[in-house]
Structure 1
Amino acid sequence: MLNSQLLRFLLVGGLNTGVGYALFAVFVWIGLPYPVAIGLATVLGVAFNFQSTGRLVFGGARLSQLGRFVGVYSFVYLLNVGSVALLLRAGLNVYIANAVVLLPLALMAFVLQRRFVFAAS
């Protein structure tokens, strides 16, 4: 069950991440600072991601779970910004720095969502 659920999470997350990263890249390209770009990309993706992840991965997305979902996203956002800041100091450019942290943050988001958001599903 966990392997199948994790596989579905990674597939759905791949789509969600691709859209989110494309938004991030466009926002940076038009001149927004990376924390704002990450924030906007995150906010725009939350509603879609809640439905797609909840329904396709965990078997349901009840409105009562939305607050916890947003909480997990907020935590992951802070980790994302902090990680990118560290990688920028290490000399990476902003596009590569954000790409480097995508998979570890996706795995963390899966664990947190499975445990705290969709645990009853």
Structure 2
Amino acid sequence: MTIKRQLFSFLLVGILNTVFGYGLFALFIYLGLYYPLAVLLSTILGVLFNFKTIGGLVFGSNDNKLIFKFILVYVIIYLLNIFFLWLFKRLGFENMYLNGFVLLIPLAAVSFLLNKFFVFRR
């Protein structure tokens, strides 16, 4: 599969995964959870779902042994997410819904690159 097709597939699958993950994040914020915990819980719940959709539908892999590398990618994305949410808050941007939304595209790009060249590389 060409990188253009993988990127297109990643974007389509990413929409589904993003709706799932961001929906959980927004729900947890609404329920009053502190934003690092909201990100952590939504990330944990999304990892298995995303592993199967990204691995199978985007990169054509059903190798369950890659889950540990996939989890490492999510740890990196989590840390980047928390750092930038903290930075936005320090800069005076208090709306965590908007802050989380703004981070979706750049973090998705980082996620694609890490998955393509680290987790699901051939």
Task: Give the TM-score normalised by structure 1.
Answer: 0.97
Give the letter for the 1:42 counterpart. T
Which whole-Å CA distance do the structure 2 matches of 1:23 and 1:64 have between them? 26
Letter in 1 for 2:99: A
Q: Which runs of 5+ in 1 are unaligned?
A: none
Partner of 1:103: 105
CA distance in 2, matches of 1:115, 1:61: 17
Indicate the SS of the match to 2:103.
helix
Q: Does 1:72 align with 2:50?
A: no
Give 1:119's aligned residue: 121
Show the counterpart of 1:38: 39
Do the aligned residues in 2 keep the contact of 1:58 with 1:118 (CA within 8 Å)? yes
1:91 is displaced (CA, Å) by: 2.1
Give the residue type in structure 2 aligned to 1:6: L
For the residue of structure 2 that corresponds to 1:19, the secondary structure is helix
SS state at 1:11 partner: helix
Q: Secondary structure at the match of 1:28?
A: helix
Contact 1:50-1:61 within 8 A present in 2 as well? no
Report the AA paired with residue 91 of structure 1: G
1:7 aligns to what?
Answer: 8
Superposed structure 1 runs of 4+ greater than 3 Å apart: none
- Mind listing any 5+ residue stretches in structure 2 that lack a counterpart? none
Work out the percentage of aligned pairs sharing the same amino acid.
Answer: 47
If the length of structure 2 is used for normalisation, what is the TM-score? 0.96
C-alpha RMSD over aligned residues: 0.7
Shift of the alpha carbon at 1:63? Answer: 1.2
Task: Indicate whether 1:19 and 2:26 are aligned.
Answer: no
Q: Counterpart of 1:18 in structure 2: which amino acid?
A: V
